[in-house]
């Protein structure tokens, strides 16, 4: 819920509490922002809502037993916490991962990266008032999720990586399905790009907003 706080009755600036958001939406983050109209003068992040005692849970379970909990670190890109945890354990134990498993990890992570970016772009467009790109993003996301589900049996919390490899080999015929989807995905993204890059609402709300230079 967004709360509006006025410092005093004569103050034209407003202090807004944005968030915290549920992990399944736009992020587990709260911002305390001071605004002047649509211009944000100051933003103070509160990342405390990210903490859900995962560290203590990790202390009380096995290395492999903690893998499903890493899915909950990022609900829209759960492959990457899986990968990070597996690689950390492998480095500590001196485990060498077979090349085939390495390839499957990279492929699964890259598919998940596409899913994550589609959600980010679609939701950003919708948040600034450009509605059309969002259903396009969801359509491609669902098709990509179908591929990941066929690979690991899940669509959001994958629990696919294992210390030393992955939980399943790819099913028969799966690589051909991925390539077939990519053939349709590329032209769809060309159209998706046009919907965003040349969308007047999207450009007006985001172009030259909150630009950060190298020193900052």
Extents of the domains making up the chain: 3-49, 57-206
Q: pTM to 2 decimals?
A: 0.80
User: Whole-angstrom Cα distance, residue 15 to residue 105?
Assistant: 44
Task: Please list the pLDDT of the chain residue by residue as tens digits (216 residues).
Answer: 455 554 555 567 888 887 776 555 555 678 889 988 878 888 898 877 666 788 889 999 999 999 999 988 888 899 999 999 999 999 999 999 999 999 999 999 999 999 999 998 888 888 888 888 889 899 999 999 999 999 999 999 999 999 999 999 999 999 999 999 999 998 888 888 888 888 888 888 888 877 888 887
Beta strands in the chain (DSSP E): 3-6, 14-18, 30-36, 39-46, 161-162, 165-166
CATH topology of domain 57-206: Cytochrome-c3 Hydrogenase; chain B (1.10.645)
Q: Is 39 helix (H, G, I), strand (E, B) or coil?
A: strand
Query: Which neighbouring-strand residues pair with 45?
Result: 31
- The token pair that represents 131 in the structure block: 């509605």
Look-up of token digits 């294992």: 162
CA–CA–CA angle 157, 163, 166 (5° rounding): 60
Q: How many CB atoms lie within 10 A of CB 97?
A: 18
Q: Is 79 helix (H, G, I), strand (E, B) or coil?
A: helix
Q: Is 172 helix (H, G, I), strand (E, B) or coil?
A: coil
């Amino acid at each position: 819920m967004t709360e509006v706080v006025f410092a005093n009755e004569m103050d034209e600036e407003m202090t807004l509490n944005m968030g915290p958001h549920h992990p399944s939406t736009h992020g587990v983050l709260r911002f305390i922002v001071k605004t002047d109209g649509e211009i944000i003068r100051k933003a103070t992040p509160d990342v405390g809502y990210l903490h859900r005692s995962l560290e203590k849970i990790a202390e009380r379970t096995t290395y492999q037993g903690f893998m499903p909990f890493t899915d909950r670190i990022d609900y829209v890109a759960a492959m990457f916490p899986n990968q990070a945890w597996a690689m950390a354990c492998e480095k500590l134990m001196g485990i060498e991962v077979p090349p085939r498993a390495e390839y499957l990890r990279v492929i699964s992570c890259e598919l998940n990266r596409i899913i994550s970016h589609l959600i980010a772009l679609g939701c950003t467009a919708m948040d600034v008032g450009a509605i059309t790109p969002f259903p396009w993003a969801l359509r491609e996301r669902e098709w990509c999720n179908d591929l990941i589900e066929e690979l690991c049996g899940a669509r959001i919390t994958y629990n696919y990586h294992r210390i030393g490899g992955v939980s399943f080999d790819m099913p028969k015929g799966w690589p051909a399905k991925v390539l077939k989807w990519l053939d349709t995905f590329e032209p769809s993204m060309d159209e998706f790009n046009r919907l965003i890059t040349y969308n007047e609402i999207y450009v007006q709300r985001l172009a030259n907003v909150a630009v950060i230079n190298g020193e900052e």
